[in-house]
Amino acid sequence: MSAARIISDTPGVSDAPGVRDAPGTRHSPDTVDQAARLRALVGASLAANLGASVAANVGASAGYCTHPHNATHNTNQDTNHTPGTIPRLTPNLAGPKLITITSGKGGVGKSNLAVSLCVLLARIGARPMLIDLDLGLANADVLCGLSPRARLDASLDGGAPLHTLAVDAPGGFKLIPGSVGLGRLPELPDDQRRRLLASARGLSGACEVLILDTGAGIGPMVRACASSADVTLVVATPEPTSIADAYALIKSLWQQSRRTGVPLRAPRLLVNQATSVSEAHDVHARISGVAERFLGTQIRLAGWVPTDPRVPMAVRSRVPFALAHPTCPATGALELVAVALHRELLPAHAPPLHNPEPAPGVWSRLGRLLAGKV
């Protein structure tokens, strides 16, 4: 399906993606003050009631993609769910919690988000590890300013145990660097892919949360990682090509689940480089609307990260932006995603909530803040 179809076929969504800020909206040039207010907003919202506000807005509950052809296979899902919504699933208790970060289109900032998400998870008490599976074009080590001696291909070529390839990355997480310039890895046989993912699942002693940063597209490795994950985040930007390719990836995962009969934990959308909350929600509405219409499933919004000039500054400095600029708007927004994932995947380690009253809409207030309205 073309980008034009995705845009035009989504009910109630304008044909042209764009910012819907009210006339006269001013974007504050005082980024230091803006960042301080953002941090205060994030802290107040999370302290007030993370479970009620963030879970409702960013889809902290996981679920299976449902369709008539695999309904009989959803043995772990909660049957007490509202029709038309994605049912909750039983948490996977074996090994580290697996988060797959992927995208339909390249160049959407996926690896940048993966690296900084690890920094933020480490900051709030998780023990994260990142495996760079952008096979042949890995760059997570570059984003961290590292020059590793061994890479992922050593686990395949020499049989090196996966955990021995992990290096300390800035921000307090472990990184298994991916391979560079090798065209054969994306075409691993099925059994070799399964062994690699089984080895990843066996890293429980080295980490609590394992993030798989895949390459872009709909190849076998991407589909295998998504099928194995506790949470799959599909990164997309407001560009029409990114929207179209994100839907194509989701459709490919859905078709694989239908073909194999294996239930799929519903992928969630992470919108990057949005200029406003309305633009982020437009992207989500288009992709989720088309998925619901043609695939019979809804796509949850995991969160959105605003366009922030400090992100490319951090890339040029070879430091994760969450570490180089811990108070910038992009870091604050991604922190919401990190805390929600932490509470969902490692609830026993999450900090207690002190206020039972629900907080106001976090993402709407964040958007108003970034637009200079708070």
268-280 b/e (C-beta count within 10 Å ≥ 16 → b): bbbbbbbbbbbbb
Q: Looking at per-residue confidence, does 69 or 255 come out higher?
A: 255
Average model confidence (pLDDT) across the chain: 75
Neighbours of 141 (CB within 10 A): 22
Mean pLDDT confidence for 266-282: 97
Bridge partners (DSSP) of residue 64 are 265
Three-class SS state of 304: strand
204, 129 Cβ separation under 8 angstroms: no
Beta strands in 283-359 (DSSP E): 300-306
pLDDT score of 196 more than 70 = yes
Task: Please state, in angstroms and rounded to a whole number, the distance separating the CA atoms of residues 35 and 42.
Answer: 10
> How many Cα neighbours within 13 Å face the side chain of 8?
5
Rounded CA separation 236/177 (Å)? 23
pLDDT of 28: 43
pLDDT grade for 239, boundaries at 50, 70 and 90: very high
Residue at 31: amino acid letter: T
Report the pLDDT value the prediction gives residue 97, as an integer from 0 to 100.
Answer: 93
Half-sphere exposure (CA, 13 Å, Cβ side) for 283? 33
Q: Residue 13 corresponds to which tokens in the numbers above? A: 């969504």
- Please name every residue paired with 211 in a beta bridge, in sequence order, or none if there are none: 99, 130
pLDDT tier at 78, thresholds 50, 70, 90: very low
Q: Which residue has the higher pLDDT, 8 or 136?
A: 136
CA distance 172 to 184: 31
With beta carbons less than 8 A apart as the criterion, state whether 277 and 344 touch: no
* CA–CA gap between residue 66 and residue 83 (Å, rounded): 11
295 vs 353, higher pLDDT: 295
Query: Shortest CA distance to 52 belongs to which of 41, 60, 40?
Result: 60
> What pLDDT does 187 receive?
64
Neighbours of 66 (CB within 10 A): 25
Q: Which of 73-82, 186-195, 278-287 has the lowest mean pLDDT?
A: 73-82
Neighbours of 305 (CB within 10 A): 27
Provide the 10 A C-beta neighbour count for residue 126. 24
Mean pLDDT of 305-319: 97
How much is the average pLDDT of 139-144?
95
Does residue 180 or residue 63 have the better pLDDT? 180
Residue 199 — pLDDT band, cuts 50, 70, 90? confident
Q: Which of 166, 187, 182, 169 is nearest to 116 (CA)?
A: 169
Q: Is the pLDDT of residue 124 over 80?
A: yes
pLDDT given for residue 343 in this prediction: 94
What pLDDT, on the 0 to 100 scale, is given for residue 35? 46
Query: Residues for the chain: how many in total?
Result: 374
Give percent of the chain with pLDDT exceeding 70.
66
**pLDDT at position 4, please?**
44
CATH class of 31-70+93-370: alpha beta
147 and 153 Cβ atoms separated by less than 8 Å: no
Whether 314 contacts 171, CB under 8 Å: no
**How many other CB atoms are found less than 10 A from the CB of residue 370?**
25
Identify the H or E element spanning 132. strand 128-133
- Tell me the mean pLDDT in the region 220-237: 93
